Structure 1
Amino acid sequence: MKERIERLKKLTYIPQNDIAWLIEQAELSVKQQEIIEENKRQQEVTVHQFRQAQKDIQHLSGDRKRYKQALEKIITNLNFAIQVAQNELDGAAE
């Protein structure tokens, strides 16, 4: 490819097939640039989605911790209520 470019630079008259090749290369370059730009855009979207997912996970982890603590308090209170009821039943049976 470099050889062909150097040869074209030296010509004052450029043959039709060389012009066609130049046009083809230019079109290919434009398509490649469009693909690169689209890939960058998709990468930015993916990074944004990943960061949002991280925030969601942190939020859900915090919710999970609060729910677990609340459930542990409920279980402790229920165990206490069961023990009180059991003591009352034991006292009534005596």
Structure 2
Amino acid sequence: MKERIERLKKLTYIPQNDIAWLIEQAELSVKQREIIEENKRQQEITVHQFRQTQEEIRHLSGESRRHKKALEKIITNLNFAIQVAQNELDGAAE
């Protein structure tokens, strides 16, 4: 495309106004294509980051559930140990 633009710039039998307009349109088209390609690239990056984030959220949610269950077991065991100690204290006091 850029080669064509340069070739058009060198032509002398096309009126200057027309050639200037053609060049402007061609350059605009190239810029628009570059912008579209960059937007597509950014969109792909965003989609990839979104999917990674979703996976991380799923992972952390599962980890959080496992930690919560482990803490519930620890609390249950501690409550049981406290109850046993309380019973022993009550038995020793009698």
- Is TM (by shorter chain) over 0.5? yes
Q: Deviations over 1:8-55 (max 9, x none)?
A: xxxxx5311110110010000000000000000000000000000000
Provide the C-alpha distance between the structure 1 equivalents of 2:68 and 2:34, rounded to a whole number of angstroms. Answer: 50
- Superposition RMSD on alpha carbons, in Å? 0.7
Structure 1: 4+ residue segments shifted above 3 A = none
Higher RCO structure (Cα 8 Å, ≥6 apart): 2
Give unmatched runs, 5+ long, in structure 2: 1-12
CA distance in 2, matches of 1:54, 1:16: 56
Name the residue aligned to 1:17.
Answer: 17
Alignment of 1:1-94 (within 5 A): 14-94=14-94
Alignment match, 1:3:
none
Question: Amino acid of the residue matched to residue 89 of structure 1?
Answer: L
TM-score when normalising by structure 1: 0.85
Q: In structure 1, list runs of 5 or more residues that go unmatched.
A: 1-12
Query: What is the distance in 2 between the residues matched to 1:16 and 1:41?
Result: 37
